Structure formats: structure tokens, C-alpha cells
Amino acid sequence: MKRSKSVRLVLVGSFSGVFAGCTPSSSISSDDVFTNNYFVPGVGYYHAPFRAWYSLPYNHFDPLKAKYFYGGRWEAAPLQSAVNISSPTPEAVQQVAANRTDVRRGGFGSSSSHYHIRS
């Protein structure tokens, strides 16, 4: 029986699609250490003194409010903190796991539907 090159390409293409959904994602734990404004897509910016992520960068200034944002609140002056590196709380780690958009969470997908075997 003669083997076709197109069959080999179909199998390789199908398997690569299957394994792409199984690649391990980089996870964040409370043992990790992050600096101020470390960004996680879909979650936000890490505020080291508060050990959590927020939607805006640390000490973000809003000219309309004339206030600075840090730790989930708006204040008249920026926060001057000696803490610029820390580990997130377990609650902050759960927030990241639930909301991040930079991790592909797909299963096996349907990559085989794009290929067909020719005889």
C-alpha cells in the first residue's frame, strides 16, 4: 500500500492542534514575588504595598478628579511607600486565576475539522 504525503501532513496538523490546547499555563501563587505595576491581562496592575491587583496602575493620577489611585481608593496625594516588591495574598491569587485573559483555557478544540484525507 502506498502512503500519501497528504495523510502524514493531516496527522501532524491534527496532533499539533490537539497539543496546543494542553500546554501548561504559567500560574501565579502567593509564593511568587511581584513589583509595583506588574500587569496581568484581564486582571490589572499589582500594587505591592497592598499585595493585590487593581484596574489602574499604582499612583495613577486622574486629572479630572485631581486624585491618585492606589490600593483600590482615590486620594489627594500619591502614596509614598518603601514597599515596592511583595507576594500577593491568597485572595489576590484567586482573583488572578479567575480573571486573567492571557491564558488559553481551551480544550482539545476542533482542529481536525480543517483537514481532510484525500485518497
Full domain range(s) for residue 89 = 28-103
Q: Is residue 57 part of a domain?
A: yes
> Between residues 115 and 22, which one has the greater pLDDT?
115
Number of domains into which the chain is organized: 1
Question: Over 90: is that where the pLDDT of 56 sits?
Answer: yes
Query: How far apart (Å, rounded) are the C-alpha atoms in residues 102 and 61?
Result: 26
| pLDDT for 23 | 31
Question: Over 50: is that where the pLDDT of 105 sits?
Answer: yes
Q: With contact defined as beta carbons under 8 Å apart, do 93 and 30 qualify?
A: yes
Query: How far apart (Å, rounded) are the C-alpha atoms in residues 12 and 14?
Result: 5
Q: Is residue 68 part of a domain?
A: yes
Residue range 78-100: average pLDDT?
Answer: 92
Q: Is residue 21 part of a domain?
A: no
Which DSSP symbol is given to 56? Answer: S
Q: Is residue 117 part of a domain?
A: no
Query: Do you know the residue count of the chain?
Result: 119
- Note the pLDDT tens digit of each residue in 4-51: 555 443 333 433 333 333 333 478 899 999 999 999 888 899 999 999
| pLDDT for 108 | 54
Q: Is residue 70 part of a domain?
A: yes
Q: Is residue 97 part of a domain?
A: yes
Query: Which whole-number Å values give the CA distances from 103 to 22, 40, 97, in the listed order?
Result: 11, 10, 9
6-32: string of b/e by CB count within 10 Å (b at 16+)?
Answer: eeeebeeeeeebeeeeeeeeeebeeee
CB atoms within 10 A of CB 53: 24
Residue range 83-112: average pLDDT?
Answer: 78
pTM of this prediction exceeds 0.75: no
Question: Over 80: is that where the pLDDT of 110 sits?
Answer: no
Q: Is residue 65 part of a domain?
A: yes
Q: Is residue 90 part of a domain?
A: yes
